[in-house]
Amino acid sequence: MGKTIFGSERIVHLIICLVSVLIMILSVSYGLGTLKKPGTGLYSFVVGLFIFPLSLSLFLSSLKQRGKGPILLREEIRTFLSFIGACIFWIIAMPYLGYPLVTLVATFFLSKIMKLEGWLKPFLLSAGTALFIYILFDWWLYIDLPRGFWG
């Protein structure tokens, strides 16, 4: 059973390697441009260039691994579903409660799901994240974020 699980992981990592190479090849055909005047394919080329070594390292490390049992354990599944639930809450509650409050709450829960110790560190992380993103998008970039019942 372990061989099948890790074999399918190897296949996925290899496919991601090949797709990233394909992305880089196709983005060159769109034109990279220069750094002063980027072309259409520059962003996709950089993304492919970033993904390729990461997926290649995962593929090579999966060749060295032996079957160590099932990949997903119950705690990992619960953590994953909690993460998905927090993200869904973030999306659904944002128009009603506003961006700063929902970001504060969702980031707090995400940090607790990732087992950040104590209560002060997750609160400081979530408050800093909400404040930074609010300043970045609302003040510097002038992008209206959902304000919810705040107005």
pLDDT at 3 > cutoff 60? no
Q: Convert the pLDDT of each residue in 81-121 to its tens digit.
A: 898 998 899 889 988 888 888 999 999 999 998 888 999 99
Q: What is the DSSP letter of 69?
A: S
- What angle in degrees, to the nearest 10, is found between the helix axes of 42-64 and 2-30? 160
Q: Convert the pLDDT of each residue in 112-132 to its tens digit.
A: 988 889 999 999 999 999 999
Q: Convert the pLDDT of each residue in 21-46 to its tens digit.
A: 999 999 999 888 887 888 888 888 99
Helix (H, G, I), strand (E, B) or coil at 142: coil
Residues 119-146 as b or e (16 or more Cβ within 10 Å = b): eeebbebbeebbeeebeeeeeeeeeeee
Neighbouring C-alpha atoms within 13 Å toward the C-beta of 91:
5
Helix (H, G, I), strand (E, B) or coil at 38: strand
Residue 138 · residue 145 · CB < 8 Å: yes
What is the Cα–Cα distance from 38 to 27, expressed in whole angstroms?
A: 12
What is the Cα–Cα distance from 114 to 129, expressed in whole angstroms?
A: 16
CA-based torsion, 137, 139, 140, 144: positive or negative: positive
